Amino acid sequence: MGSPARGTRASRVGRAVRALAAASVACATMVACATVPMTGPVVPGDGGDTPSDPYGGYVRLLPAGPQEGVGPEGLVGGFLKDMGSFEEDHKAARSYMFPALSDEWSPDGSVRVFGDLDAVGLETDVAADGLTATVRMRSSLVATIDDSGKYVQSDPGHLLEVPFELAREGGDPEGEWRIENMPDELILSQLDVERTHRPFNLYYFNPGSTALVPDPVYLPVSNDALAERLLNKLVAGPTDWLAPAVDSAFPEGIVPDVEIDAETAVIRVDGVGQIDEFEMAAQVAWTLRQLPEVEEFTLVVNGDEVSFPDSDGESDERPRPASDYWSGVSPSAISAGIRAYFTHEGQLWSAADWGADTIGDAERVPGPLGAGDVQLERFAVSVDESTIAGITVGGGEVVTSLASPGAEVSEVLSDGTFTSVSWDVNGDLWVTEQTSDPEEESEEESGEDEPAEDEPAQDEPATDTDPAPEPGTTDLWLLRDGDEVVRVDISDLRDRSLVDFQISRDGTRAAVVTEVDGETSLQVGRVVSDSDGRVSVGSFITLGRELDEVTDITWRSSDQLAVLGNREGGTGQAFLVSLDGGTPASSAGTPVPGMVNISGAPGQPLVAGSDDGNIWITTDRLNWQKVVEGGSPTFPG
């Protein structure tokens, strides 16, 4: 291993080793007897689960509409209750309005989500003549869904206030109250959203088109046009949040003609120039495979049907969305049959066939890191499993080595305090570094309390018991194109401590754990690169607000995280957190005392390391089994 460089941080950068990467269910019922589930089903992405029916759990509401003789407050209360009916273009909600407003009211899909209907406050101000009134609704704002379908949880304590202007019919003091003015959007309770909406993914490409990236949206499933709406949203482009990080094969401004006939979808796009037809169809295929009723599709470009040989359809022009033909750009960004890696007695090992209570084919990783020639505190394996990156004991250096016999160890960063490493599908390595003020740096360079270079690494991973770094004292480095090292802009995090960082395998998003005043937060930010090569990670969105003391994170799939934490001060355990923003975090199995790190990958069990030097797995999301002695289990990425 080369000797550490000295001087400025720029001079501490060594040579980087680049990886070799390349039918609606409708249950008619009256509102009085409707059963509302606490949560809607999760539509899985590339996590390896059996797909669920996106229409399952939806219950039609056929409300009676406004009751005779109710006052302004009662009318608005009934309106909020009946707005959860989507039947016949919100016929029930329109029945509370004057005809002019009913004709003009055109909700665009955006929703303001409030908590509990029983907790809504209604403040009424009736005019002196008794003919008009204003009713102000006040409640906690749980979340918003914008017109693109993006679901964003609100900060705790955020207030929702909506005015409704009412008048009596015919200007008659005895006439019924009706709404004559209100916002042009839906205002739904959290239970109504869980009953009527489902999370879906739209799929776009990462820069370089090496993997598809899910863009979660919430859409109502209450009518028969779901496939058309999903495809129209896909072609219209990604949500504002994800758009700067991804690309689409569909040119901007294109309006498709979408037809659904029995089990086949036909997507026609005209007026386009040179396009990548495979990429366009791959976006369609991965989006449509969430809908069980669509088994084939036809893509027509400028009047010509596009042929996709070997795509498993009845003909080349009618490919199947679920065909393996599209697997080369899978959102998982990894191949089937990947191995899991772990440490044992200072050496790196890998294994396949992780079963319910055992593992098979365990062997040391070829090369110097597998032999333990260099002791690592943390490590990560490239997505194609060709290269290992690690942080040496003490955190002072980042090294890489090919996972092959006779390989050498190369130092790529040195003279720092490095805290995490992770890879994306493009072979780019992401490294976090905890920085110090000049006095602290001077003390570190004196060599006091530094571990010996040959100090054996322990099987147990770091337990994250050290104090969180001060806000603004973490740098993020991107090592790409073999030699190029880029300092990444993470200024959006300067007001909080960065505790953990994990890049998504597709390279477009980053999951982080931050800390402010002793409280941790799980967040996801987008990765944006400009034409000059500058890179930033920002626009962070908070997920899993119900979780406390989050200590470790991993990308289980492209649209789901696995995290260690607890809920409402309970026992620490593993949770699955969807990126859609609205699905509550779910338990990943019975708590195991002392879990300190976790890892997952599409189609693979969850693996975790405990502080007593053991590795655990769960294949059923119910129970964890101890399978081998070791530490820091991780899948590629």
pLDDT of residue 621: 83
Write out pLDDT tens, residues 40-72: 333 334 543 444 678 877 777 788 899 999 999
The pair of three-digit structure tokens given for residue 332, joined into one six-digit string = 């998982």
Please state, in angstroms and rounded to a whole number, the distance separating the CA atoms of residues 67 and 404. 76
Strand partners, 130: none
3-state secondary structure of 502: strand
Which residues are within 8 A (CB) of 543 and not within 5 positions of it... i.e. 6 or more apart? 153, 522, 523, 524, 561, 577, 578, 579, 581
Strand partners, 217: 200
Q: Report the residue count for the chain.
A: 637
3-state secondary structure of 594: coil
φ and ψ at 397, to 5 degrees?
Answer: -140, 150
Whether the predicted pLDDT of 422 surpasses 90: yes
Residue position matching structure tokens 């669920």: 52
pLDDT of residue 446: 43
By mean pLDDT, which of 168-172, 223-227, 293-297, 316-320 is the weakest? Answer: 223-227
pLDDT of residue 465: 53
> Are the CB atoms for 607 and 589 separated by under 8 Å?
no
Mean pLDDT of 439-445: 43
Mean pLDDT of 140-168: 94
pLDDT of residue 359: 76
End-to-end CA distance of the chain: 24
CA nearest neighbour of 537 among 496, 509, 558: 509
Which residues are within 8 A (CB) of 498 and not within 5 positions of it... i.e. 6 or more apart? 432, 469, 474, 490, 512, 513, 514
Write out pLDDT tens, residues 527-559: 999 988 899 999 999 999 999 999 999 999 999
Element holding 153 (H helix, E strand): strand 151-153
H helix runs in 372-527, sequence order: 438-445
* DSSP track, 533-581: S-EEEEEEEEE-TTEEEEEEEEEEETTEEEEEEEETT---EEEEEETTS
Catalogue the E-assigned strands of 40-120.
60-61, 111-114
Write out pLDDT tens, residues 68-84: 999 999 999 999 999 99
Whether the predicted pLDDT of 448 surpasses 80: no
Mean pLDDT of 421-443: 79
Please state, in angstroms and rounded to a whole number, the distance separating the CA atoms of residues 597 and 617. 12
Please state, in angstroms and rounded to a whole number, the distance separating the CA atoms of residues 580 and 42. 10
Write out pLDDT tens, residues 459-505: 544 444 567 888 889 999 999 865 689 999 999 999 999 999 999 99
CA 636 to chain centre: 18
pLDDT of residue 52: 66
The pair of three-digit structure tokens given for residue 503, joined into one six-digit string = 């890049």
Please state, in angstroms and rounded to a whole number, the distance separating the CA atoms of residues 23 and 338. 36
> Are the CB atoms for 61 and 191 separated by under 8 Å?
no
Strand partners, 214: 203
Whether the predicted pLDDT of 232 surpasses 80: yes
> Are the CB atoms for 382 and 19 separated by under 8 Å?
yes
The pair of three-digit structure tokens given for residue 144, joined into one six-digit string = 């918003």
Write out pLDDT tens, residues 88-121: 899 999 999 999 999 999 998 899 999 999 999 9
- Tally of CB atoms within 10 A around 10: 9
Mean pLDDT of 142-160: 93
pLDDT of residue 447: 46
More confident residue, 35 or 563: 563
> Are the CB atoms for 548 and 520 separated by under 8 Å?
yes
